[in-house]
Structure 1
Amino acid sequence: MNILLAEDDLQLGELVEYMLKKKGGYKVDWVMEGEDAYDYANASYYDILILDWMMPNGDGVSVCRRLRSRQYSGAILMLTAKDSVEDRISGLDAGADDYLVKPFEIDELLARLRALSRRNYAPILEEQLFIHEMKLNRLSQTISNNGEEVQLSPREFQLLDLLAQNKGQVLPREVILDRIWGFDADVSMKAIDATIKLLRKKLDIIGQQELLQSIRGVGYKVES
């Protein structure tokens, strides 16, 4: 199960990340600011988001509300030190599926995650996706246009599919590296550049070389 943990308390964040990996066997991405949580949630699929109520650059409630306004359908668990009924209602009304009051036991957090995971939040991805005249086939991992079809490598497909799911939105290079290779992988940003170069050559074959845009100093996007 893939989990995004957004918690700005360094000691608590380290503990929760460690225990989720060790006791739950989960894959965990940990961020410490609300804006990062929003960007990560939009850039990839997570089974569950764990959002701290109070964070710099966007509190958990506002991040939750922004995600739901964009029809984000994933499970969201709110961590909060606020224990009043009004605060709980505020978090749930913002779109949270559950909440856990600090301080909490790790075993209770794991139990709540298991309960949330039993619900089916997984988005249904269409087998074929059309971007302008280009067709992306997720089953065969090919792209085609005007009768011309090109096979993508697994990395090329993962990268293009990630950008396609977020078309019109600039994805930072750091987010791309994490989503495709993982921050723990022994690769550099040059891996992104090499994959982008190969992908552009294949897009050029089907006349879609302008589809993939570079945003200098930031990252890449696919035109909407």
Structure 2
Amino acid sequence: MKILIVEDDTETANYLTRGLREAGWEVTWHNAPQEAMLTLAGRSFDAIVLDRMLPGMDGVDALRLMRGAKITTPILMLTARSGLEDRVEGLEAGADDYLVKPFAMSELVARLRSLARRPPMAVKATNLHLGDLHLDRISRQAMRGGDRLDLSPLEYRLLDYLIQRPGEVVTRSMLLEQVWGYRFDPKTSLVQTHMSRLRAKVDKPYAQEMIRTIRGAGYVIDAP
């Protein structure tokens, strides 16, 4: 396999390069995402190992640029940040897998092999529209009727998930799993609270609402 590493720490990069080459793979290393983008413009790889903390550009921003440039190569993100919000943000931005430092080389190799076996990912649209609602998935900005909506990162992820499913009932369980990354029900009003805040920004200032509550089922978003 051909692996591209984007990692600014030389010691970590050397460890990765040595371990992956011992697995029999061809490895290319760059310490900055800008250099990696130039290489990706002319070469193909089986997988990319992308560090979260990079000089001059956050790894998540680099990830969005890659996906915005229609790069569909599987991407595994490395990070020292193990918080749920960090993992969800990386996955929502287009990462295929997430590995927290410190890690065992054997696990990294196994994860990369697993990614390489997956079918090629579909290219995600970088702009989503529903009626007068618009999401720019590169800048992560939302607008309605020409007005910019001041959304928190979590509110943006909620809206992004909804707008991809117009007219469909999205359940509380679906939101907990796909937006928060929970595999269990925390038995709180977490979803209701954040949905209420989102609707106050998306719907309240406008004549027609787009997000509706379906009592006992979930939420639906439709064009006004």
TM range (shorter): 0.5 to 0.7
| Unpaired segments ≥5 residues, structure 1 | 124-224
Secondary structure at the counterpart of residue 115 of structure 1: helix
Alpha-carbon distance in structure 2 between the residues aligned to 1:117 and 1:43: 20
Q: Which residue is 1:11 aligned to?
A: 11
Q: Which residue is 1:31 aligned to?
A: 30
Alpha-carbon distance in structure 2 between the residues aligned to 1:41 and 1:51: 13
Alpha-carbon distance in structure 2 between the residues aligned to 1:122 and 1:100: 20
Task: Give 1:57 shift.
Answer: 3.0
In 2, are the aligned partners of 1:2 and 1:27 still within 8 Å (CA)? yes
Alpha-carbon distance in structure 2 between the residues aligned to 1:71 and 1:59: 19
Q: Which residue is 2:97 aligned to?
A: 98
Task: Give 1:70 shift.
Answer: 2.0
Q: Please give the residue correspondences for 1:15-164 in structure 2 after superposition, counting only pairs within 5 Å.
A: 15-22=15-22, 24-121=23-120
The one-letter code sitting in structure 2 at the alignment partner of 1:12 is: T
Alpha-carbon distance in structure 2 between the residues aligned to 1:104 and 1:98: 14
Task: Give 1:44 shift.
Answer: 1.1
The one-letter code sitting in structure 2 at the alignment partner of 1:19 is: G
Describe the superposition over 1:91-137 as per-residue Cα deviations: whole angstroms up to 9, x where unpaired. 011100001000000000001001101113399xxxxxxxxxxxxxx
TM-score scaled by structure 2? 0.52
In 2, are the aligned partners of 1:47 and 1:122 still within 8 Å (CA)? no
Alpha-carbon distance in structure 2 between the residues aligned to 1:41 and 1:120: 19
Alpha-carbon distance in structure 1 between the residues aligned to 2:53 and 2:21: 23
The one-letter code sitting in structure 2 at the alignment partner of 1:4 is: L
Between stretches 50-59 and 11-20, larger displacement belongs to: 50-59
Off by >3 Å, runs of 4+ in structure 1? none
Q: Please give the residue correspondences for 1:195-214 in structure 2 after superposition, counting only pairs within 5 Å.
A: none
Secondary structure at the counterpart of residue 79 of structure 1: strand
